[in-house]
């Protein structure tokens, strides 16, 4: 049943349900659902595996892998938050958590970029820096600030949509997206638009610019390396991170570009958006498992430990 809330002599409607129209006209949608179920299953397994491995392997208790752990947790929770919820409270909660974990993915990629800057620009001090207790405490503080900043901005973003004027709300997206919802709100669009731009700038574009700046510093440091083999070896250490950055930011930028293009079919925008949200969290743990020597070595050590315990 639709509920009506009165505030300052104005009435605001809380719709009983939201209609998620994201897949309504998508051709062969049942096969797309099967694909998304597969992606989600791999995402859950891969990120849970990475989180468990980092927790159990003492060799991975470094600043870099604390950020990787936080990234895996954000990928896992963010993919779960995308599962459609159609009641009023669930819809706004889903929006909050989707944007929260997306912003945390962005911040964690920035943290990993700074790790690469330290590794390449200060190679002789890298090992000592990343295992110092002081450095680990500093990283935990940074992660805490990232969480608090994300929660505050996104809570404000969601709170501005709580005054709706329509008794039936159809969301032209694959989850309770901010853009389609705030257009049904009773309050002024201006405040919603400003907070949306603040979110995009602080959570997406500023981290992207800082990552680009960090790789500018890395490129400058690589130019100082006279030996070609050493330069190539240093560049290879950035490969995994660059792949993650490309997978996360390029689709998001394409979504923003498509939003500016008026003649794009809604199905194209929706499919591109959901692939942006689901595929990178699935591939992140695969890339770090297959491309990182420390992770492969830790898997071997844990396997030998389990094997010895089973023999005993």
Above pLDDT 90, what percent of the chain? 4
> How sure is the predictor about 15, in pLDDT bands with cuts at 50, 70 and 90?
low
The pLDDT value given to residue 139: 74
28-73 pLDDT, tens digit per residue, is 667 777 887 888 889 999 999 999 988 888 888 877 888 888 889 9
Rounded to 10°, the helix 293-311/29-56 angle is 70
Look at residue 168 and tell me whether its pLDDT is greater than 60.
no
Average of pLDDT values for 212-221?
88
Q: Which of 305, 244, 285 shows the shortest CA–CA distance to 50?
A: 285
Above pLDDT 70, what percent of the chain? 71
**Residue position matching structure tokens 């994201």:** 22
Domains of the chain (ranges plus CATH)? 3-311 (1.20.1070.10)
CB atoms within 10 A of CB 93: 15
């Amino acid at each position: 049943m639709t509920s009506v809330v009165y505030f300052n002599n104005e009435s605001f409607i809380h719709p009983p349900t939201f209609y998620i129209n994201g897949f309504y006209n998508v051709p062969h949608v049942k096969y797309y659902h099967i694909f998304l179920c597969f992606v989600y299953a791999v995402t859950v397994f891969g990120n849970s595996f990475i989180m468990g491995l980092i927790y159990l392997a003492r060799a991975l208790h470094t600043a870099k892998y604390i950020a990787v752990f936080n990234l895996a947790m954000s990928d896992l929770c963010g993919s779960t938050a995308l599962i459609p919820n159609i009641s009023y409270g669930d819809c706004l909660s889903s929006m909050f958590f989707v944007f929260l974990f997306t912003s945390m993915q962005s911040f964690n990629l920035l943290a990993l970029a700074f790790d690469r800057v330290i590794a390449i620009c200060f190679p002789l001090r890298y090992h000592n820096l990343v295992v110092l207790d002081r450095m680990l405490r500093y990283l935990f503080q940074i992660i805490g600030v990232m969480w608090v900043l994300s929660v505050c901005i996104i809570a404000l973003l969601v709170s501005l949509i709580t005054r709706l004027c329509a008794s039936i709300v159809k969301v032209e997206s694959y989850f309770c997206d901010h853009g389609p919802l705030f257009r049904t709100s009773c309050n002024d669009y201006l405040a919603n638009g400003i907070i949306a731009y603040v979110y995009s700038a602080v959570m997406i574009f500023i981290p992207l610019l800082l990552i680009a700046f960090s790789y500018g510093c890395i490129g400058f440091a690589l130019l100082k390396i006279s030996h070609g083999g050493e330069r190539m070896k240093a560049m290879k250490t950035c490969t995994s991170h660059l792949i993650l950055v490309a997978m996360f930011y390029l689709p998001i930028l394409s979504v923003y570009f498509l939003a500016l293009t008026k003649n794009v079919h809604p199905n194209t925008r929706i499919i591109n958006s959901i692939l942006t949200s689901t595929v990178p969290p699935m591939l992140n743990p695969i890339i770090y498992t297959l491309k990182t020597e420390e992770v492969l070595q830790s898997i071997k050590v844990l396997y030998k430990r389990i094997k010895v315990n089973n023999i005993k």
